[in-house]
Amino acid sequence: MKILLVYPKYPETFWSFKHALKFIGKKATFPPLGLLTVAAMLPSDWQKKLVDMNVENLKDSDIKWADYIFISAMLVQQESVSELVKLCKSFSKKIVVGGPLFTAGYQEFKEVDHFILDEAEVTLPLFLSDLEKGSPKKIYRSEEKLGLGSTPIPLWSLIDTKKYASMNIQYSRGCPFSCDFCDISLLFGKRQRTKDRDQLVAELDSLCNTGWRGGVFFVDDNFIGNKDKLKKEILPSLIEWRKEKKYPFTFSTEASVNLADDEELMDLMVKAGFGVVFLGIETPEEDSLTECGKFHNKNRDLISCIKRIQRKGMEVQGGFIVGFDNDKPSIFERQIQLIQKSGIITAMVGILGALRGTKLYHRLEGEKRLLKEASGDNTDFSINFVPKMDREILSAGYKKIVSTIYSPKCYYQRVANFLKEYRIKVKIKVRFRFYYLRAFFHSLWLFGIREKGQIYFWKLIFWTLINRPKSFPQAIIFAIQGYHFRKVYEKYF
């Protein structure tokens, strides 16, 4: 059996880092972890080929070669998926799909032959068994949530790791919180399921054996959902593993704001190699936090929480939302001040969207306020419901936020604000790459000479050299990332 696994294209989004990746000659931020894991679940004697359309072109010869086409995708990739399905069907190929896009809305894809929905560890074996018998069904679904002990090590041999800026692995699924706009607990449940120490170390070993050295993103939606296991088992193992392997990786992940309440956990994460953590901060408006069920963010000095994590040695990235029913016109300036004062450099600000199946979706549907399905892109204007705030005020306020925080003046000021608090504590064996030098000189020319606002760039450069010389490479990296953010948001400037 010949299996072609295809990962559709991402549009240009906040997280694509398309414009920043050009500086270092990379094609995409992360490889398609889901497809690599599914590939490892398929019979070992099957022939497998993976095409990530974000790093290479899909050829007609690839499609002709395959007996089955496997596709996995997220909501934001739906346009590319539609084109891909049409192309594969023009060759009369059987198509098998799975992943969040299809689990939430498989009904939209009439031409697909087989849907492997929910969790592949449960539904894929059912499909494979029926396929062997010659009678595969169209839809495979299950609400069963298995432990992750049966999840295999991704089949890294199917990709060229040099084309990616970072690698990714998964330690857990599920989140103990139930924010009404989020579909994570809907997809993966509220009870966090985790891999054990030996399984995680084996996965890290396999990645290390590919020759990869650099960043690794733990894709968990809330890494700290089981703090006790992290402290007693996982983080001590990671500390020991990195030391034994001479610090080949640094880690990043996602967590909740209550990370700031646990000094022991923060210290262990930094010792284990975690230098970046993304937090769902959402809003400083308490009534809006109540509205969306984000109670763990309430009654907090959010800036103090963020600074506490930064001082421990982790960069905080943040997600912010406007458009809640309880938002007032003052929310836009409040969001700007929160982002600037906290020193959150990577601040993803989006207008609230109602994802299919979420509590928010059902509430708005009941109130007859839904207009269309969400696009999956947090940074566009495709508001899919009728907001309580005047739509024009909401759109203008959103534009004000992004055009302010990603203007050269505010952005470089925010980088300096962050570097005042931050100290690099995560150990890694630095390996020189030629593209570092190329990226450095290209950034000096582009940001210091060609682009508008170069005075603010040079202010940051000289301030860093004088006050935080060890953080100089970090300042250049942030400048390059800022260029990507400006390109994504330039239509709003």
Is the CB of residue 325 less than 8 Å from the CB of residue 284? no
Predicted confidence at residue 85, as pLDDT, reads 98
Strands (E), 345-403: 347-351
The pair of structure tokens assigned to 360 is 């928010």
Helix (H) or strand (E) holding 161: none
pLDDT value of position 430 = 63
* Structure tokens that stand for 123 in this block: 């539904």
Secondary structure of 309-342 as H, E, C letters: HHHHCCEEEEEEEECCCCCCCCHHHHHHHHHHHH
Query: Tens digit of pLDDT per residue, the chain (493 long)?
Result: 999 999 999 999 999 999 999 999 999 999 999 999 999 999 999 999 999 999 999 999 999 999 999 999 999 999 999 999 999 999 999 999 999 999 999 999 999 999 999 999 999 999 999 999 999 999 999 999 999 999 999 999 999 999 999 999 999 999 989 899 999 888 888 889 999 999 999 999 999 999 999 999 999 999 999 999 999 999 999 999 999 999 999 999 999 999 999 999 999 999 999 999 999 999 999 999 999 999 999 999 999 999 999 999 999 999 999 999 999 999 999 999 999 999 999 999 999 999 999 999 999 999 999 999 998 887 777 789 999 999 999 999 999 999 999 999 999 999 999 999 888 888 777 666 777 899 999 999 999 999 999 999 999 999 999 999 999 999 999 999 999 999 998 876 6
The 10 Å CB-count burial string (b at 16+, else e) for 259-285 is: bbeeeebbebbbbbbbbbbbbbbbbbb
- pLDDT at position 493: 65
Q: Give the alpha-carbon dihedral of 229, 30, 343, 374, to 10 degrees.
A: -100
**Edge-to-edge strands of the sheet including 114-116?**
47-52, 2-7, 68-72, 94-98, 114-116, 139-140
Rounded Cα distance between 70 and 6, Å, is 6
H-helix or E-strand spanning residue 16: none
Beta bridge partners of 370: 385
**Residue linked to tokens 């990786």:** 249
The number of residues in the chain equals 493
Contacts of 474 (CB under 8 A, 6+ apart): 419, 422, 424
SS3 at position 374: coil
477 CB burial (10 A radius; 0-12, 13-18, 19+): buried
Residue carrying structure tokens 């019979």? 43
Instruction: Give the residue carrying structure tokens 């800026």.
Output: 165
Instruction: Give the integer Cα–Cα distance in Å for 428 and 104.
Output: 40
Asked if residue 364 lies in contact with residue 354, where contact means CB atoms within 8 angstroms, the answer is yes
Put residue 190 in one of left, alpha, beta given phi > 0 → left and psi -120 to 50 → alpha.
alpha
CB distance 24 to 435 below 8 Å: yes
pLDDT of residue 350: 94
